[in-house]
Structure formats: structure tokens, C-alpha cells
Amino acid sequence: MSTPQGTPPNALTVRLPQLLEAMRSVGSGLELRSTLERICETAAELTGARYAAIGVVDEDGDGLADFVFRGTGEETARRIGRLPDGHRGLLGALIHDPEPVRLTDLTADPRSCGLPDHHPPMRTFLGLPIRVQGEVFGNLYLTDKRGGGSFGDDDLDTVRVLATEAGIAVGNARLYEAAQQRERWIDGSVAVTTALLSDGDADDALQVVAEQARRLSRSTAGIVLLTAEEGGLEIAAVAADTPSDALGRVVPPDNEIVAELLDGQAVFVEDAGTDPRMADSLARGYGPIMMVPLQSYGRVLGGLVTPRARGERPFTRTERALAVQFASQAALALMMAETQRDRERLAVYQDRDRIARDLHDLVIQRLFTTGMTLESAQRRSVVPEVRDGVGTAVGELDTTIQEIRTAIFALQQGPAEAPAGLRTRVLREINMAAVPLGFRPSHRFVGPVDTAVGELTGKNLVAALREALSNAFRHAGASRIAVVVDATATLPDGRPGVRLTVVDDGVGIPEGGRRSGLNNLRRRAEALGGGSRHGPGTGEGGGGTTIVWQAPH
């Protein structure tokens, strides 16, 4: 490109090589955040601006969803505090009237609302919109031209060209990011489905749902709620950086948000600290919260909650839509897993019925016949020692028959027939475990188990016992298991509590072996303010495992 002889080249022509290089640099990446940062840096270099920023307009078009800046150090930014939201002042005016603005002194403009404390002083200003496919994506702001001058026409022309290229680069980056985001959510759904339909523990699978939801939504926590028997929603899994005492808590059905979730409606909160529906003190510590129902084919199983920290950006429409789809897929996987467990449970009940019939029709009849034979022999015996020995054997047979009848009754007892007492629930778990184990674990109760232990603690204790017995069956290869429930235990901090001890003589836990079950026990105990530990069992040569789980009453 050349200019007529005698005509001095304008600034845009002089900057052309630099502008072309800048355009190449701006369009060189696909990650949206880094693309915005390169646009800021390039615009500042081309115009000589000390500060540059891009305000990304939110989906409603009345504020800023993100703010990327250059020139302000991290320490200064930290002291300034919260980033501008674009709801007022000069930035807000540019959102509602997206036309180029040049100011010699922005502080004198009537649209300006002043700078916050600790903000560096700014005078000259140049702002213009960045459009992506004809729609305003955001605004580019340049302030404080070096050298003390104002931004001129050449600066505006240069930035206009750059903004056009920036719009193309931002559009490509947004498409790439949307594709990447959808791929992540699809991968997360696959991981959840795999976990739920595997042979692993149901609590493990729910924890996977919570962790995936937290990771995919880039939230502070992931929380899974399931419908509670007494109504409302119970917190079944929590994924967070710090241990939470919310596990097992039931949110009552009269809660407005719970009612909406149970009705199959998603709930999105911009700021939990100011939303009047967020009555829970725990929830009020968060900022934006996304709550979507776990529902499939019209059936609501619970809810999925992903909160972000105070001051973080709200969830976008895309994130909300993806979360709803993810929750629907997770609910479908939950229903399929429930069906699968029902089939397995039915097979177990059928085996228990068969075993009960065999015990009644074969074993007891044979023992009864043997007892009658021994009684006949006892009457004919003339040796006192022999008569007494036979009498003892007959008594042992009677006791054995009574124990077998008790076992038969336990095998035939359905879940709905079991009383609500903790002692009975523990015995039921032991009797159910006896079928796959091939033997019945021994048990011992200490103290007023039914009256001293609260419902929430008892519920978690039974779940911990089920996990321990399941681990013994699947991994230990044990031939003897002892279960002790002590309601008179004292916790390490001196509080009264209940202690569950399960000891087996199996192979023990191998070095580096799977410990998700033990992690479940620990999480349940910590959520109640207790703890769990494991150590060597009672097998020969130090084999086997001892699991101790304890919590306050």
C-alpha cells in the first residue's frame, strides 16, 4: 500500500503492519479467556493506552457477566475488590447504547459514577462494542493514553478494525468452548451411568454424581438430594473441599424450593445471601446456586444442587440447560440401577425362601427323627452315664431345632415386616448377610441400643454395618465375623456415643487395595461428628480386619 507523493501517511497506514500482526495474534487461539486477554493487550499496544478491559455483556443484556482487564496489578485489583457489574455508570451506559465513546476526561462525564476506592486515576477514555455475528458480545474499554494526549480518530479507526477481527476470534472461541463444554458434560454423564450401573456401593455412585456435577458446573460443591420417607428431600451425597455435616439432613417438604424441585421444576438463584427463599443458614453462605430435579419419565427422585461462592458469576443459560440434561441422565441411571438392585434383591429373596423350605422340610425333620431315636435309646439304656449323655444330646438337638426355626423366620421376614428398633435392623442385616456369606455372623449388643441411639445415627450405623459386611463378603473371604454394637461407648472427646465393631478373620486389606467402602464409613461418621478406623483382625498370623465406626447418640 502506498500514499500519493507529497501526502503524509496517516497513523492507520503506519500501524498497518503492526495491526496485521495483532490480528493474526488475536485469532491464533481458541480458548475464550486467553483470546479476550490478547485482545486487551493488543488494543493497549496499538493505541498507547495504559489500561484496557473487556466487559462481557450478560445473557439478559443489562449487565456484565465477566470482566477481563490489563494494566492493573493483582494487588491493586485485590484492594479494589469486586469487579464492575455494568448496572450503572459509564460502563452501564455503553451496554444500553453500544456506540463508540471518546472522552477527554471521563470523570467529568455525567454518565460516570466515579471510581471505587484504591482504583488508579483515569482520565482519557475510548470505548466501543465488540460484535459477534451482529450481536453485541461485550465492550472494549481503553483509558489513560500514554503521553498525556487524548484518543484520536486514528485510534478509533485502529480499534474498530481490531474489534471486527476480535468479534470473529471471539465467535470461534465461543463455538469451541461450547463444544468442549458439551463434551465434558457428556463424559460426566457416561461416568455417572457407569458408576450407578456397576456392582459398586450405591453411596459410592451417588458420590460420583455429586463430584461430577461439581466439576462440570465449576461450582464450590455438588450435593445430591433424594426423596425422604417422611417427605421432603434428604442430603444423600456431598462433594466439597471440606467435610460437611449436612449429610443425612432432611429439608422439609414445606420449603418453597423443595416443593418446586419435587414438582419437577429447576430453581436458579442469583445470590443465596439475598434470596428470601433461602432460609437455610448453610445455603446463605453461597452466591449463585443451581438446583435441578433428578427426574426421568415424569418421576422425581430428588434434586441436584451446585452452589458457587459469594461474588462468583451466575450460571449461564447453556450451563443451566446442560445441568438439566445431566440430572435427567443421572435420574434415568438411578432408576435403572434401582431396577437392577430390585432384580438382585428378588433373586436373594427367592434363594432365602428356598433355603427356608429346605431347612424346614429336610433338616428339621431329620433332626426331629434323630431326637426321637435318641430318646428311645435313652429309655432303653441301663447305664446312667450313657442315659445322661443321650439326654444332653437330645437337649442340644432341641436347642438346635429352635435356632433353625428362628433362622427360618428371619429368612422369610420381608423388609416391611421388620420393626423400627435398631436392634432388629442390625439383626436383619446380619441375617441377610448370612445367605451370601454361607454362615451367620455372631453378634452382641451392649447397653440400651433401641432407646439411646437416635434415628439419624441408627440409620447411618445400619448403613455402615451393611458396608462392612459387604466388604467382608466381597473382599475378605472370611469364615468368621463378629459384630458388636455398644450403646454405652465414650467417644475420644468424652461425649457419649455408640460404637459399631466388625471383626473378621479374612485376608485383610491389601496394600494399595480399594478403599471406597472405608471412605464411605468415614464420611458417614464424620458427618455425625464421629469417626471410623480399621486395623488387623483376629485371623491366624494377624490376618483379617477390624472396623470400628462410632458416632454420638
Average pLDDT, stretch 291-303?
89
Of residues 150 and 350, more confidence is placed in 150
Three cell numbers, residue 483:
459384630
**Top-confidence range, 14-28, 143-157, 327-341, 367-381:** 143-157
Of residues 473 and 153, more confidence is placed in 153
- Residues 174, 190, single domain; the answer is no
Report which of 132, 139, 141 is spatially closest to residue 173, judged by C-alpha positions.
132
Are 500 and 549 a contacting pair, CB within 8 Å? yes
DSSP H/E element including 277: none
Count how many Cα atoms sit within 13 Å of the Cα of residue 407 in the half-sphere of its side chain: 24
- Residues 237, 168, single domain; the answer is no
Which phi and psi (to 5°) does residue 361 adopt?
A: -80, -30
Assigned domain for 346 exists: no
CA distances from 389 to 3, 383, 395, 399, 527 (A): 126, 10, 10, 15, 56
Three cell numbers, residue 24:
493474526
Average pLDDT, stretch 92-114?
85
- Residues 172, 187, single domain; the answer is no
Assigned domain for 157 exists: yes
Rounded Cα gap, residues 209 and 196, in angstroms? 9
pTM of full prediction above 0.85? no
pLDDT at res. 411: 63
Give per-residue burial for 415-451: e unless 16+ CB within 10 Å, then b. eeeeeeebbebbbbbbbbbbeebeeebebebebebbe
Residue with cell 443484556: 61
- Residues 106, 196, single domain; the answer is no
CA distances from 539 to 75, 183, 518, 545 (A): 61, 49, 20, 8
Which phi and psi (to 5°) does residue 93 adopt?
A: -65, -40
Three cell numbers, residue 391:
439326654
Assigned domain for 389 exists: no
- Return the minimum-mean-pLDDT range out of 199-208, 209-218, 222-231, 261-270: 199-208
Average pLDDT, stretch 320-333?
88
Q: Where are the alpha helices (DSSP H) in 359-421?
A: 365-380, 384-412
Residue with cell 460484535: 131
pLDDT of 542 > 60? The answer is: no
Residue 125 banded pLDDT, cuts 50, 70, 90:
very high
- Residues 94, 167, single domain; the answer is yes
- Residues 148, 216, single domain; the answer is no
Three cell numbers, residue 469:
459386611
- Residues 94, 137, single domain; the answer is yes
- Residues 298, 438, single domain; the answer is no
The enclosing domain of 195 has a CATH number of: 3.30.450.40
pLDDT per residue as tens digits for the range 234-279: 888 888 877 677 778 888 888 888 888 888 899 898 888 787 777 6
Residues 6+ apart with CB under 8 A from 308: 218, 219, 220, 286, 287, 288, 289, 315
- Residues 241, 272, single domain; the answer is yes
Assigned domain for 199 exists: yes
pLDDT of 389 > 90? The answer is: no
Assigned domain for 544 exists: yes
Residue 539 banded pLDDT, cuts 50, 70, 90:
very low
pLDDT of 87 > 50? The answer is: yes
- Residues 158, 26, single domain; the answer is yes
pLDDT at res. 417: 45
Assigned domain for 20 exists: yes
Residue with cell 455438588: 222
Show the CA angle centred on residue 463, arms to residues 462 and 464, nearest 5°.
90
Q: Which domain holds residue 434?
A: 422-553
- Residues 252, 196, single domain; the answer is yes
Instruction: Report percent pLDDT > 90 for the chain.
Output: 4
Residue with cell 473378621: 504
CA distances from 488 to 182, 444, 453, 485, 552 (A): 53, 13, 10, 9, 10
Choose the final residue of a domain: 146, 178, 210. Answer: 178
Assigned domain for 397 exists: no
Report which of 433, 444, 442 is spatially closest to residue 410, judged by C-alpha positions.
433
Choose the final residue of a domain: 299, 332, 365. Answer: 332
Q: Could you give the number of structural domains in the chain? A: 3
Which amino acid is it at 215? R
Choose the final residue of a domain: 302, 332, 362. Answer: 332
Assigned domain for 374 exists: no
Rounded Cα gap, residues 245 and 240, in angstroms? 11
Name the β-bridge partners of 234: 226, 250
DSSP H/E element including 23: helix 11-26
The enclosing domain of 484 has a CATH number of: 3.30.565.10
- Residues 195, 243, single domain; the answer is yes
